[in-house]
Amino acid sequence: MIEVQHITKRYGRVTAVDDVSFRVEKGEILGFLGPNGAGKTTTMRILTGYMPPSEGRAVVAGFDVFDHPIDAKRRTGYLPETPPLYPDMSVREYLDFVAKIKGVAPRDRKQRVTTVMERTRVADMANRHCGKLSKGYRQRVGLAQALIHNPEVLILDEPTAGLDPKQIIETRDLIRSLAGDHTVVLSTHILPEVAQTCQRVVIINKGRVVAVDTPDNLTARLKGAATMYVQIDAAGADAAAALSAVPGVTRVASADQRGVMAADTVPLAATGPVAFEVESEPEVDVRRDLARAVVTRGWGLLELRPVRMSLEDVFLQVTTEERPEEAPHA
Amino acid sequence: MRNTLAIADKEVRSYFASPIAYIIIGLFALLFGFFFYVYLMAFNQQSQQMMQFGGGGGANINQMMIRGLFQNAAVIILFVMPMITMRTYSEEKRSGTIELLLTSPVSDLEIILGKYLGALTLYATMLLVTMIYMGILFKIGQPEWRPIATGYLGLLLMGGCFLSAGLLISSLTKNQIVAGFLTFATFLMLWIINWPGEYSGPTTRDLLNYLSITQHFDDFARGVIDTKDVAYYLSFITFGLFLTAKSVDSERWRG
């Protein structure tokens, strides 16, 4: 549905987007994840035909956005970073105007306006001037505007920015409900949002695509070394040493409520259970050996489970990995 | 065409939703009325004098009053127009609504024409209100209607040029104040460009006279429609809108 091929965008000497390529299938929700200034907005502006790329091409709903902008734009709904509202217009007037310029047939217009207002929960503010709306309402009117012509493709730049927690949940539900009929690309720097709403993630940093995958796969794939969480009832014993001795284990760290710290900096627990994070070489399943090591010493094995990295860890990992490469240029 | 009208409609609504339209229309009518009063008094005195000394058949109201009135109206327009155009593009850029327009299935030309048409509608309303004074004139005297009609046509065309230049300047900047002042300076320059012509050779003088936006207005104020003047105004308007389209397009490339 969306195909981005080797897009590069330069502003003078600054390269905002550098050779970005990805595809979005029909009905899919793609998350665009990256720190501020990574090139998310620029990429979205190119996809919506707001600006042309310096190099490369983008095809949206079967139309090249540069060669056939009108056809592509007719099939695209776009929520920019700041909702593009006219402060002097009421919400209803505004949506009616947007419907006109988006090419909604005159006889359907009134009905479309009502439908999107209900869907985005702004109907109670229909006659309020856009300039007098709260941030949350502005954002939702912006979303209503993007939906007005029932586009095949939706490009949403930080759709939940400025919403309160309840509204965030409602908006995510709305976006999820759009999948299937619509193809959605949304950008965010809020990590859990991607895991909850998106089927696939593009992580972008400094204008380059760092990773493209499902949230689950990304978490699993980028874990690198496998990590186990082990909780043992071994009062007074040097459990860390025993676990380190297991073949395949590369590192043992204490993991209590205060967070993870290196095992040798933690005094031995006098009483009660102790918890560790045990890292092992990839591809080696150390679970049996860990269990045996604990049980044969007569300690109680309270918990043994693989640790999944949160998307946040993945994100930090992939975006920090880039830095050593960039360093020589600086 | 439908898109152009939709945008023109939006523009007109936004003028009338803010105090701008009312202030501009009101002040223009007030100043026009002031000049009307002054010229009427002057005409009154002169025609009385002419009657006393038995000048043949009374004074010509068209020649003595209307021409001067229209020329002064043109001066007021010079000051008022920047206020109409300064926000057209600048405001959309500042508030980010330009992103909505440029990502809608609407061509740049449709947007520009829509904005131009919107501004022209406001301007035409301004002129329409001043027709009240002309009504008064017809009530108290017997002016010829033709010079009045050509005068209004001239004002419309000249104002159309100002609007087209103003739209171009507004498309160049995000800042309304900058747009407003630049527009005013440009109009003033177009106005006085023929002044040095009085002290230079005939070729330069003719050239500068041709460039001057007000020089072409004089014929209209006298009641003459000269194709040369109409061509000047129409090509000025077209050229301004063309450059605006280029400016919007280049903005897109620069990002």
Predicted local distance difference test score (pLDDT) of residue A236: 57
Rounded to the nearest angstrom, the minimum Cα separation between B18 and chain A is 7
Q: Do A86 and B97 touch (CB under 8 A)?
A: yes
Predicted local distance difference test score (pLDDT) of residue A90: 93
Judge whether A66 is closer than 8 Å to chain B, CB to CB.
no
Predicted local distance difference test score (pLDDT) of residue A216: 77
Same domain, A13 and A118: yes
Token pair 């978490």: residue: A219
Q: pLDDT digits over B139-150, tens only?
A: 887 888 888 899
Q: Which of A86, A96, A147 is the best substitution to test chain B (most B C-beta atoms within 10 A)? A: A86
Answer whether B253's CB lies under 8 Å from B190's CB: no
Q: Do A102 and B105 touch (CB under 8 A)?
A: yes
Of residues A306 and A135, more confidence is placed in A135
Q: A225-229, B21-25, B91-95 — which is least confidently predicted?
A: A225-229
Same domain, A23 and A85: yes
Confidence check: pLDDT of A258 > 60: no
What are the two backbone dihedrals, phi and then psi, of residue A213, each rounded to the nearest 5 degrees? -175, 180
Q: pLDDT digits over A71-105, tens only?
A: 999 999 999 989 999 998 999 999 999 999 999 99
Long-range contacts of B43-46 (CB under 8 A, 24+ apart): none
- A9 part of a folded domain: yes
Nearest by CB: B3 against A82, A88, A101: A101
Q: pLDDT digits over A185-199, tens only?
A: 999 877 777 878 888
Confidence check: pLDDT of A316 > 80: no
Predicted local distance difference test score (pLDDT) of residue A127: 93
C-alpha closest to that of A23 among A199, A239, A160, A162? A199
Tokens representing B25 are 């229309």
Tokens representing B61 are 């109201």
With CA atoms as reference, the chain A residue closest to B14 would be A88
Q: pLDDT digits over A134-174, tens only?
A: 988 999 999 999 999 999 999 999 888 878 888 888 888 88
Which run of H or of E encompasses A24?
strand A14-24
Same domain, A54 and A19: yes
Q: Order of strands, edge to edge, in the sheet holding A29-33?
A: A76-79, A153-157, A183-188, A29-33, A200-205, A208-213
Same domain, A71 and A143: yes
Token pair 């009240």: residue: B132
Same domain, A123 and A263: no
Confidence check: pLDDT of B84 > 70: yes
Confidence check: pLDDT of A324 > 50: no
Question: CA–CA separation, A324 vs A321, rounded Å?
Answer: 7
Q: Do A101 and B103 touch (CB under 8 A)?
A: no
Confidence check: pLDDT of A269 > 80: no
**pTM recorded for the entire structure:** 0.80
Q: Which of A100, A104, A133 is the best substitution to test chain B (most B C-beta atoms within 10 A)? A: A100
Q: pLDDT digits over B90-126, tens only?
A: 889 888 999 999 999 999 999 999 999 999 999 999 9
B102 vs A contacts (CB less than 8 Å) = 49-50
Answer whether A183's CB lies under 8 Å from A153's CB: yes
Residue A51 belongs to domain with CATH number: 3.40.50.300
Predicted local distance difference test score (pLDDT) of residue A247: 84
Predicted local distance difference test score (pLDDT) of residue A220: 66
Answer whether A214's CB lies under 8 Å from A201's CB: yes
Q: Do A101 and B107 touch (CB under 8 A)?
A: no
**Chain A residues 78-107 with a CB less than 8 Å from chain B:** 78, 80-89, 93, 97-98, 100-103
Q: Do A49 and B102 touch (CB under 8 A)?
A: yes
Q: Order of strands, edge to edge, in the sheet holding A249-256?
A: A259-262, A249-256, A274-280, A226-233, A300-306
Residue A281 belongs to domain with CATH number: 3.30.70
Confidence check: pLDDT of A326 > 50: no
Same domain, A151 and A256: no
Q: Do A101 and B106 touch (CB under 8 A)?
A: yes
What mean pLDDT, rounded, does chain A reach? 83
Of residues B123 and A300, more confidence is placed in B123
Please report the DSSP string for A44-89 in residue order: HHHHTTSS--SEEEEEETTEETTTSHHHHHHTEEEE-SS----TTS
Answer whether B99's CB lies under 8 Å from A84's CB: yes
Question: CA–CA separation, A146 vs B210, rounded Å?
Answer: 49
A86 vs B contacts (CB less than 8 Å) = 10, 14, 95, 97
Residue burial A124-151, b: 16+ Cβ < 10 Å; e: rest? ebbebbbeebeebbbbbbbbbbbbbbeb
Tell me if residue B13 falls in helix, strand or coil: helix
Rounded to the nearest angstrom, the minimum Cα separation between A324 and chain B is 30
Q: Is B57 exposed, middle or buried (0-12, 13-18, 19+ CB in 10 A)?
A: exposed
Name residue B23's amino acid: I
Q: How many residues does chain B have?
A: 255
Predicted local distance difference test score (pLDDT) of residue A223: 56
Nearest by CB: A11 against B103, B106, B255: B255
Size of interface A-B (CB pairs under 8 A): 81
What are the two backbone dihedrals, phi and then psi, of residue A60, each rounded to the nearest 5 degrees? -120, 125
C-alpha closest to that of A129 among A84, A95, A91? A91
Q: Do B97 and A97 touch (CB under 8 A)?
A: no
Confidence label for A225 from pLDDT (cuts 50, 70 and 90): low
Confidence label for B54 from pLDDT (cuts 50, 70 and 90): low
Name residue B129's amino acid: V
Predicted local distance difference test score (pLDDT) of residue B11: 93
The domain containing residue A50 runs over which residues?
2-221
Same domain, A69 and A155: yes
A42 vs B contacts (CB less than 8 Å) = 255
B13 vs A contacts (CB less than 8 Å) = 88-89, 93
B6 vs A contacts (CB less than 8 Å) = 97, 100-101
Predicted local distance difference test score (pLDDT) of residue A224: 56
Judge whether A11 is closer than 8 Å to chain B, CB to CB.
yes
Token pair 């929520």: residue: A79
Answer whether A83's CB lies under 8 Å from B118's CB: no
Predicted local distance difference test score (pLDDT) of residue A60: 92
Question: CA–CA separation, A117 vs A148, rounded Å?
Answer: 9
- A167 part of a folded domain: yes
Predicted local distance difference test score (pLDDT) of residue B17: 87
Q: In chain A, where does DSSP find H-type helix? A: 40-47, 69-74, 91-101, 106-119, 135-147, 165-178, 191-197, 215-221, 239-244, 287-296, 311-326
Confidence label for A330 from pLDDT (cuts 50, 70 and 90): very low
Of residues A228 and A176, more confidence is placed in A176
Residues of B near A (Cβ–Cβ under 8 Å) read: 2-3, 6-7, 9-10, 13-14, 17-18, 95-107, 252-255
Domain positions in chain B are: 2-254
Answer whether B222's CB lies under 8 Å from B153's CB: no
Q: A25-39, A53-67, A303-317, B25-39 — which is least confidently predicted?
A: A303-317
ipTM of the complex: 0.86
Same domain, A14 and A75: yes
- A89 part of a folded domain: yes
Q: A116-120, A232-236, A326-330 — which is least confidently predicted?
A: A326-330
Same domain, A185 and A44: yes
How many domains does chain A divide into? 2
In percent, the amount of chain A with pLDDT more than 90 equals 38
Same domain, A210 and A272: no
Rounded to the nearest angstrom, the minimum Cα separation between A74 and chain B is 5
B2 vs A contacts (CB less than 8 Å) = 100
Q: A22-31, A103-112, A298-307 — which is least confidently predicted?
A: A298-307
In percent, the amount of chain B with pLDDT more than 70 equals 97
What mean pLDDT, rounded, does chain B reach? 88
C-alpha closest to that of B7 among A1, A81, A101, A321? A101
Same domain, A210 and A236: no
Residue B193's Cβ-side half-sphere holds a number of Cα atoms within 13 Å equal to 19
Beta bridge partners of B244: none
Predicted local distance difference test score (pLDDT) of residue A114: 95
Answer whether A138's CB lies under 8 Å from A162's CB: yes
A185 vs B contacts (CB less than 8 Å) = none
- A251 part of a folded domain: yes
Judge whether A48 is closer than 8 Å to chain B, CB to CB.
yes
C-alpha closest to that of A4 among A44, A46, A59, A54? A59
- A281 part of a folded domain: yes
A98 vs B contacts (CB less than 8 Å) = 100, 104
A131 vs B contacts (CB less than 8 Å) = none
Predicted local distance difference test score (pLDDT) of residue A325: 42
Can you tell me the mean pLDDT for A43-47?
A: 93
